Amino acid sequence: MTSDFDDLVLALEQFKEERDWGQFHTPKNLALAICGEAGELASELQWVGPEELSDNTVDRAMEEAADVLLYLISFSRSVNRDLLAAAFAKLEKNGRNYPVDKSRGTSAKYNQL
C-alpha cells in the first residue's frame, strides 16, 4: 500500500514523464527552481503585517510552498535520494544538536548553546 506522500511522488513522476521534462531536471536547475519558488513565497509575505494575513495571501503563499515541495521531490529524485527519509534523519540530527534542556525557549544556534 502506498502512502499519501508516495502517491504525490508518483503523481509528480508521471506528470513529468508525460511532458518529457526529465531533460530539464538536473540538480542545479532544480536548486534554482527551489530558490525561485521560495523567493515567491517570501514575496507574498514581504510587506504584510502578521495581523494582515488574509485568506487570499495565505492561499497564494501555500501555492508557492507547494511548488517548493514539488521541486524538492524532483530534486531528491534527480540525485536518487529519498526526501522523506532525509527529513527524518535531519530531525533526528537536530534532536542531537538541540538537546531539550539547553535549547528550550531560545532561538540560539546549536554552536552557541
Reported residue count of the chain is: 113
Does residue 98 contact residue 112 with C-beta atoms inside 8 Å?
no
| Closer residue to its own copies (CB): 18 or 111 | 18
What torsion, rounded to 10 degrees, do the Cα atoms 2, 18, 20, 85 define? -10
Name the minimum Å distance from CB 111 to its own copies. Answer: 13
User: How many of the other CB atoms lie within 10 Å of CB of 61?
Assistant: 18
- Cell numbers found for residue 45: 509575505
| Closer residue to its own copies (CB): 29 or 111 | 29
Name the minimum Å distance from CB 33 to its own copies. Answer: 5
Residues 6+ apart with CB under 8 A from 31: 75
In the complex, which residues of this chain contact its own copies (CB under 8 A)? 3-6, 8, 11-12, 15, 18-21, 23-24, 26-29, 31-48, 50, 53, 58, 61-63, 65-70, 72, 75-76, 79, 81, 83-84, 86-91, 93-95, 98, 100, 103-105, 107
Name the minimum Å distance from CB 96 to its own copies. Answer: 12
